[in-house]
Amino acid sequence: MTTTQQKKFIDLLNEIFQFDQADLDFGIYRIMNQKRDEVTKFLEKDLVPQVQKAFEKYKNADIETIKQQIEDLEKKLSDMGVAKESSEKYKTLTEQLNQGVDVTALENEVFSDLTSFFRRYYDNGDFISLRRYKKDVYAIPYEGEEIKLHWANSDQYYVKTSEYFRDYTFKLPSERIVHFKLLEANTEQNNNKAQEGKDRRFILLEDDPIKEENGELFIHFEYRPAEGKQTQKQLNESALEKIFSKGNADWLQELQTLSPTEKNKKRTILEKYLNDYTARNTFDYFIHKDLGGFLRRELDFFIKNEIMHLDDLDTENEKRFEQYLSKVKVIKSIGEKIIAFLEQIENFQKKLWLKKKFVIETNYCISLDRIPEELYEEISQNEQQIDEWKKLFSIDELSGFTKPLSVKFLSENRYLLLDTKFFSSNFTDKLLAQIENIDDNADGLLIHSENFQALNFLQEKYQKSIKSIYIDPPYNTNSTPIIYKNGYKHSSWLSLMKDRLEFSKPLMDKKSVCAIAIDDTEMVNLMSVLKGSFTNHRISPITLVHNPKGSITKDFNRVHEYAIFITNEDEKNVINRTLEENDTPRKMRRWGENSLRTERRLSFYPIYIKDGKITRIGDVPSDEFSPAGRNVRQENGEIEIWPIDQNGIERRWNFGLDTIKNNLDRIAIIENDGVFDLFLTHELTVPKTVWSGGEYDAGNYGNTLLINMLGKKLFDFPKSINTVKRSISLSTLNENKDIILDYFAGSGTTGHAVVELNRENGSDLKYILVEMGEYFNTVTKPRIQKAIYSKDWKDGKPVSREGSSHMFKYIKLESYEDALNNIQLKRSSQQQSAMTELMSSEAKEEYLLSYMLEVEAEGSSSLLNTEAFRNPFDYKMMITNGTESKLTNVDLVETFNYLIGLHIKTIDLIKGIKVITGTLRTGENTLVLWRNTDEVTNEQLEDFFKKQGYNTRDSEFERIYVNGDNHLENLKLAENKWKVVLIEEEFKRLMFDVQDM
């Protein structure tokens, strides 16, 4: 018979193992549903009875002991001539015998304690670090950190994306579109303080919940505490009932189309998507970094502090004492088995979260001036590309426009950006084959991906290569709140930020600068994390007046936000100085203390002028040489100016020979009584900590600028481009190929700023932008394309068409959800036979609790199916776009380039073999060869190798990677390092070679 405590325990396990989400068919729910029956059987038929079995011996042993005690007492009383009925001890023993030992009570105590323990930490799909010290008192984990305040979520990976929260779209069988829209999302709805602390739910909007616009259906929800104690399931049922009773009759029939499950035969398609929508925002916000270790430590603490009460131990009664210890052992044993299974599930998710993700799309945007003219004819016939140019650049308003385009038109519009997504793979192969030093010539990289995954992906290639990071992360403003399922909104946000900041640190070198835009809501919290993460760094908050009109709060009219700059404490002059004009120019020749030639000889040299301009800089003369005077006229009309004062004393310039050329724009030539001298018109000063001025107005130079570029409002709250330009300028050297990274790219302001800086300064800065939102394709990428094509825009159309020569690559990565959804659990016939016939019960239990997911998921496409590498150009995965999933080609070639950190020189397709050359971060020249092994045999590969002039024994390539077993001669370079490397093995090693953050 199942007791109440046992039922509570089983119900909790079903909730923790997510078996109560039978209708959800995505992510970890889909995986667990595949094992629902087997695991449920184990929990209820095998694990729970272990508690009962543990106490059987005590029950039987105690009964026998009591019987023996009664028998002995009866004999003793008989010998004494005393009636046994008069003995109190006899009565007590008889009563104990009749009642037996209450083993059920012991079992219930175990179930109750285990339920209490696991319920304590579990919260809607996650385990929160609520470390109990004693009643109503919590212990904050501390390991000697100077600063650590976000304790609730600091040991978790934040995986939820706001993409799911605000907008959910799905297609009906007829291809018609339905949207779930969140219209209100306040934590304090109407400032109702009484609602604080209540769980918030998705609730169908009371007024006007359903609306049809432009042939699409919108169903409106709000996110707030529910009245009473309604669960999300009950609210969903109520919403479905209202929609089906009030909905547009034209839509109802299709919304009621059945999409049944084994448990719910009458489930409609609307119910399926509504359950998915609310579940995505209720569960799976986090993955614990060490769930097994955390729960085991907590279980030990729980047992020692809340189960074992020394005052209650009856050490006089040996049997009672043994029962007491046995109860403790059972709690620990059963608890650890549940922890092992939870750990397996969590570690499986962590493995998928941390693995390097596949590239599922690779394309290039290249201005026509960089494309060989022999390809223009094919380009001119591409209708999709022409339509894109009309949409982006309004080329149909240019003279000479025809459809198809003429080659002459393309030649006259050299800054049109070709997008390879509109062309065949054959065309792209031909194009790339004609580009030398591809990575050197690429000006930017756009990555459509969740930023944690993108930063992980970039590690090998860009380690210590990023000069400047600028990010404008989403934060908890009143106007755009980030919604969390629990009360730890700041801790959750800090968990999100900390891991991403930690992942960006290896990409920075000692002279790198990181700038973070933030407002008052999270500024103090962020500073605490930065001080803990960026030890030995200067952290400098800049106050920025970005909204001169202000945003009125209860107490003040806020006009500012912050830019926090992070620089290495051990480095000087990392932040570039800014020029400020002198009220009165000062002499470039030094005077006073430490001004003599002898005190710094490298600052004594001639500067040549002619016609009021500096023409060249001379060399430092020998110590024995002395000029004829302050001004020495040359035969070619130049005047040689030396740092000699009016008294003929040889002084020195303000600048050494190594820095003078970088400061020529600050120098003015002034003549006085026929003598020419040099003066500084501007001073280089450190930037001030308050930035104010119209150029930083995010309204004019952020929002309005973007609307003018795109033609309409498609993005909220873009930064002023001038703010970003100044932030970048302070941390980069314009003559270098410095890389600027923005992994909260939003609308693409950072990329736009880099394009403008390069255009204005003739510099060669490069950018990497990471954005996960679907507006990547409607805002971020189009903005960069438009910025390249023209420097100024109005109403979505180019004004001047003053463009830039440019090339950027854009890629899309597999998402964490894609990784989960491509897992297929398969048990071989041998495994199944072993499970049912050969394994001992202990071995089966260990397999189920600790190894099942890892073993049975092996070979799933998201975990790398190396068998499919036979034809690497046809590796496929199911990829979700919105709520639609379709079989999609994975770009193994591009993925591998990033896994090994290859700086690409050339890409070519020769006789069916993809040939990539480049250098690794170690400087090793590298050759990578990909082939369909069914079409290109080992013999053909060897023949190709010889005809191309390759030889494993020469020094042209220090590393050679080839897919498929091959017969190429190999050389051992060092211990466990060979010259010819099998791609499959290296791919798998690198894809999963990720350290916990």
Please write the tens of the pLDDT for every residue from 932-979: 999 999 999 999 999 999 999 998 999 999 999 999 999 888 888 899
Selection from 174-188, 302-316, 531-545 with the highest mean pLDDT: 531-545
Confidence of residue 222 (pLDDT cuts 50, 70, 90): confident
- Tell me the sheet residues that pair with 916: 907, 928
**Inter-residue long-range contacts of 679-682, CB under 8 Å, 24+ positions, other chains counted:** 679/585, 679/586, 679/587, 679/588, 680/582, 680/585, 680/586, 680/587, 680/588, 680/654, 681/581, 681/582, 681/585, 682/579, 682/580, 682/581, 682/582
Strand pairing category for 739-742 and 466-471? parallel
What stretch of H or E contains 306? none
- The residue with tokens 């835009």 is 517
CB-based contact 680:690 (threshold 8 Å): no
Strand pairing category for 508-518 and 466-471? parallel
Amino acid of residue 900:
I
**Which pair of structure tokens corresponds to residue 205?**
């909007």
Beta strands in 299-426 (DSSP E): 359-367, 417-419
Confidence of residue 744 (pLDDT cuts 50, 70, 90): very high
How many Å apart are CA 366 and CA 427, to the nearest integer? Answer: 13
Q: Which residues contact 810 (CB under 8 A, 6 or more apart)?
A: 361, 362, 363, 364, 365, 445, 446, 447, 448, 781
pLDDT at 193: 32
pLDDT at 145: 63
Angle made by CA atoms 222, 225, 226, in degrees to the nearest 5? 90
Confidence of residue 921 (pLDDT cuts 50, 70, 90): very high
pLDDT at 123: 80
| CA pseudo-torsion sign 106, 108, 111, 113 | negative
How many Å apart are CA 767 and CA 319, to the nearest integer? Answer: 73
Q: How far apart, in Å, do the first and last CA atoms of the chain sit?
A: 47
How many Å apart are CA 628 and CA 227, to the nearest integer? Answer: 95
- Tell me the sheet residues that pair with 740: 468, 767
For residues 589-610, average pLDDT: 94
| CA pseudo-torsion sign 939, 945, 948, 949 | negative
Q: Is the pLDDT of residue 485 over 70?
A: no
**Which pair of structure tokens corresponds to residue 529?**
């994390």
DSSP state of 35: T
Q: Which residues contact 742 (CB under 8 A, 6 or more apart)?
A: 469, 470, 471, 472, 750, 751, 767, 768, 769, 770
Question: Of 413, 500, 416, 415, which is closest to residue 455 (Cα–Cα)?
Answer: 500
CB-based contact 822:880 (threshold 8 Å): no
- Considering only residues 350 and 38, tell me which one the structure prediction assigns the higher pLDDT: 350
CB-based contact 476:517 (threshold 8 Å): no
pTM given for the model: 0.87
pLDDT in tens, 308-342: 876 656 555 566 677 778 888 999 999 999 999 99
Question: Of 520, 518, 522, 519, which is closest to residue 566 (Cα–Cα)?
Answer: 518
CB-based contact 879:360 (threshold 8 Å): yes
Question: Of 445, 124, 462, 122, which is closest to residue 295 (Cα–Cα)?
Answer: 122
Q: In 3-state terms, what secondary structure has residue 241? A: helix
With residues binned 3-state (H G I as helix, E B as strand, rest as coil), the percentages for the chain, rounded to 5, are: 45, 20, 35
Rama region for 749: left / alpha / beta (φ>0; ψ in -120 to 50; rest)? alpha
- Considering only residues 698 and 193, tell me which one the structure prediction assigns the higher pLDDT: 698
How many Å apart are CA 991 and CA 984, to the nearest integer? Answer: 11
- Tell me the sheet residues that pair with 210: 219
- Tell me the sheet residues that pair with 268: 258
Q: Is the pLDDT of residue 60 over 60?
A: no
pLDDT at 832: 78
For residues 683-701, average pLDDT: 93
Q: Is residue 95 exposed (0-12), middle (13-18) or buried (19+ Cβ within 10 Å)? A: exposed
How many Å apart are CA 215 and CA 537, to the nearest integer? Answer: 55
Q: Is the pLDDT of residue 838 over 70?
A: no
How many Å apart are CA 631 and CA 639, to the nearest integer? Answer: 6
CB-based contact 504:528 (threshold 8 Å): no
**Which pair of structure tokens corresponds to residue 658?**
């190594």
Q: Which residues contact 242 (CB under 8 A, 6 or more apart)?
A: 204, 209
For residues 566-590, average pLDDT: 91
CB-based contact 715:474 (threshold 8 Å): no
Q: Is the pLDDT of residue 129 over 80?
A: no
How many Å apart are CA 345 and CA 32, to the nearest integer? Answer: 9
Residue by residue, what is the 3-state secondary structure of 845-863? HHHHHHHHHHHHHCCCHHH
| Bond prior to 404 in cis (omega within 30° of 0) | yes
How many Å apart are CA 495 and CA 372, to the nearest integer? Answer: 49
Amino acid of residue 98:
N
Question: Of 10, 496, 21, 30, which is closest to residue 287 (Cα–Cα)?
Answer: 496
Confidence of residue 521 (pLDDT cuts 50, 70, 90): confident
Selection from 8-22, 218-232, 286-300, 897-911 with the highest mean pLDDT: 897-911
Q: In 3-state terms, what secondary structure has residue 338? A: helix
Q: Is the pLDDT of residue 187 over 50?
A: no
Strand pairing category for 417-419 and 359-367? antiparallel
pLDDT in tens, 285-314: 789 999 999 999 999 989 988 888 766 565
pLDDT at 196: 42
Q: Is the pLDDT of residue 184 over 80?
A: no
pLDDT in tens, 96-105: 666 555 677 7
How many Å apart are CA 600 and CA 964, to the nearest integer? Answer: 64
Q: Which residues contact 249 (CB under 8 A, 6 or more apart)?
A: none
Q: Is the pLDDT of residue 922 over 90?
A: yes
Q: Which of 142-146, 156-160, 664-668 is least confident?
A: 142-146
HSE-CB at 181 with a 13 A cutoff on CA atoms is: 15
Angle made by CA atoms 330, 331, 336, in degrees to the nearest 5? 100
Question: Of 944, 988, 947, 949, which is closest to residue 966 (Cα–Cα)?
Answer: 944
pLDDT at 316: 59
CB-based contact 816:450 (threshold 8 Å): yes
pLDDT in tens, 891-917: 999 999 999 999 999 999 999 999 999
Amino acid of residue 931:
R
Q: How many residues does this entry show for the chain?
A: 997
The CA distances from residue 432 to 257, 363, 573, 607, in Å, are 48, 11, 40, 47
- Considering only residues 189 and 534, tell me which one the structure prediction assigns the higher pLDDT: 534
How many Å apart are CA 712 and CA 890, to the nearest integer? Answer: 34
Rg (CA), the chain: 36
**Which pair of structure tokens corresponds to residue 190?**
């109407």
**Which pair of structure tokens corresponds to residue 312?**
């209650």
pLDDT at 517: 97
CB-based contact 157:127 (threshold 8 Å): no
